[in-house]
Each structure stands twice: as structure tokens, then as C-alpha cells.
Amino acid sequence: MKFLSMFLCSFLFMNMAHAQLDVAVDTVQRYFLEGGKRFQTLKVSNNSGDSSFEIGAELYRYTNIHDRKTHEAEFEPVQGHFLLAPKKFKLEPGQTRSIRLVHTKQHDDKEHVYRLNFIPKLITDNVGSNNEDAQGVKPSAKVITAAGMLILVSPKEPDLDISYNRDDAGITFTNTGNVAGDFRLTKEYCYNSNIESSCMELPGKRLYPGEQWRFEVASDIPLRWAVLAYKDIQKWLDIPAVD
């Protein structure tokens, strides 16, 4: 099967909160920007107190980033886009290893999004296993969580461009650029310093190229929202109120 649905990916790419039970990566996402470094260093840790793991890696590419008709994401396994050194390694309880991640392909005219998944395999001691089998005793099962991270690779000429259309009930944002835009979470945005009750939360949101997002807000509230891409690219959206 070429494509993996979001349902299957949610099993393969468990979030970091669960991954911290066994194996964790030091970051949930990494960026490769045109003109920047082609390699980065990751840290993979074994948070288990008593288990050793052999770690392998799997890489998947997000295939419908520009054509998501539903909220499901589709991935396909890929090879040759990145190098990992080492590709396989062992982690003792409490141990952390540094892993080199190298982007090997040239940047093109599109943004590419990947999921890198570190798969832990429990290392067991087989001493006495024959005796257990003879007595009909099954070894206990251990649920091992995997650590996943997102990788974004920019196009040759990154363009962060967010347009909007405002009406009486809210604002529809459209990503008309060629890179994902991250609306910055603002816990307390105050649009009128003279009115005590004029503060609100602006939620965080990632909007991929071609996607739209509807934000419900009263038309008489002006907004100033920071949108980021690849950490180094920032744009402010100044949206006036509508009488």
C-alpha cells in the first residue's frame, strides 16, 4: 500500500508525550532552509529505567500537502532523501545518543514535509528461555512507544504569504505562499489598552500552502498576529476592525 492514512500514521508516529515513556527525541520538528546547513544533530534518549533498546529509523514523506481535501494526512515511505549516522544503534537505560541528520537532496520549487520515526526494539536476555518454554511459561509483554519528529524542507525561494478575507463573523486565512505558516500562539492579546476586558487568546495554528483556516472573531476587534516559517522568516498580519 503506497499511502498511509492518518489513522495508521497516528499509530506509527506517536506523539512526544507518549514517547517519553520509552524513547524520545530532543525536538518535535526540524527545519532545512535553502542556504542553511545541510546537517543537524539530534539527540535520542532512552527514558526507560531498566530496558535496553536497539533503535532503527523509518522516513515517510507527506504526499498530499498541497491537496488535502479532508483532514487526513497521507504519507509514503522514502529512501535517499536523508542520511542518518548512525542509522542503527543501541541505547542502554538512561543513555542519550547524538545522531547526525543530513539532507542529501537539492531544494526545488516546492516545500517537502517528512516524518522521521525512531523504532525501538527491546533487547531481551534469552538465558533460561528454554526452561520457561518447557514449563509453558510465556515471557511478559512490554509495550514500547516510538519517537517521531517532523522535518520541513523549504523550496529554493521561500515565500511566506498569508491573505485573509474578513466578514461580520470572522476571518478566513489562506496560505498563498509556498511554505507552511505558523500562527504564533498568544495567550493574552490585548487590542485596546483602555478597556480591561479587551484581552483574548490567539491560538497557534499551522497553515500549509494552499490551505484555508477560519477564525471566528467579532468584526470590531482589530488583530495583529505574527506568522513564522522556518524560525527565521516572520510576517505580521495587521487586520483592522470592520465597523
Domains and their CATH numbers in the chain: 6-153 (2.60.40.10), 162-239 (2.60.40.3970)
How far is it, in rounded angstroms, from Cα 193 to Cα 43? Answer: 44
In this prediction, residue 132 carries a pLDDT of 44
* For residues 116-142, average pLDDT: 61
Is the entire prediction scored with pTM above 0.85? no
3-class SS of residue 144 = coil
**Paired strand residues for 82:** 103
The HSE-up count of residue 143 (CA atoms within 13 Å, CB side) is 6
User: Could you tell me the pLDDT band of residue 65, with boundaries at 50, 70 and 90?
Assistant: confident
Q: Per-residue pLDDT tens for 68-123?
A: 555 677 889 999 999 999 999 999 999 999 999 999 999 999 999 999 999 999 98
Widest CA span in the chain = 82
Determine contact, residues 115/69, Cβ cutoff 8 Å.
no
How far is it, in rounded angstroms, from Cα 38 to Cα 59? Answer: 17
* Residue predicted with more confidence, 170 or 65: 170
In this prediction, residue 67 carries a pLDDT of 67
Please choose, from the candidates 210, 226, 218, 219, the residue with its C-alpha nearest in 3D space to the C-alpha of residue 242: 219
How far is it, in rounded angstroms, from Cα 190 to Cα 187? Answer: 10
Q: Per-residue pLDDT tens for 3-59?
A: 444 434 443 443 433 334 588 999 889 999 999 999 999 999 998 888 899 999 999
Please choose, from the candidates 18, 43, 4, the residue with its C-alpha nearest in 3D space to the C-alpha of residue 143: 18
Q: Per-residue pLDDT tens for 197-209?
A: 889 999 999 999 9
Task: Look up cell 506517536; give the residue.
Answer: 14
Determine contact, residues 24/45, Cβ cutoff 8 Å.
yes
On the question of pLDDT at 137 being above 60, the answer is: no
* For residues 226-239, average pLDDT: 95
| C-alpha cell belonging to residue 153 | 524542507
Determine contact, residues 160/233, Cβ cutoff 8 Å.
yes
In this prediction, residue 183 carries a pLDDT of 97
User: Could you tell me the pLDDT band of residue 230, with boundaries at 50, 70 and 90?
Assistant: very high
* For residues 202-218, average pLDDT: 95
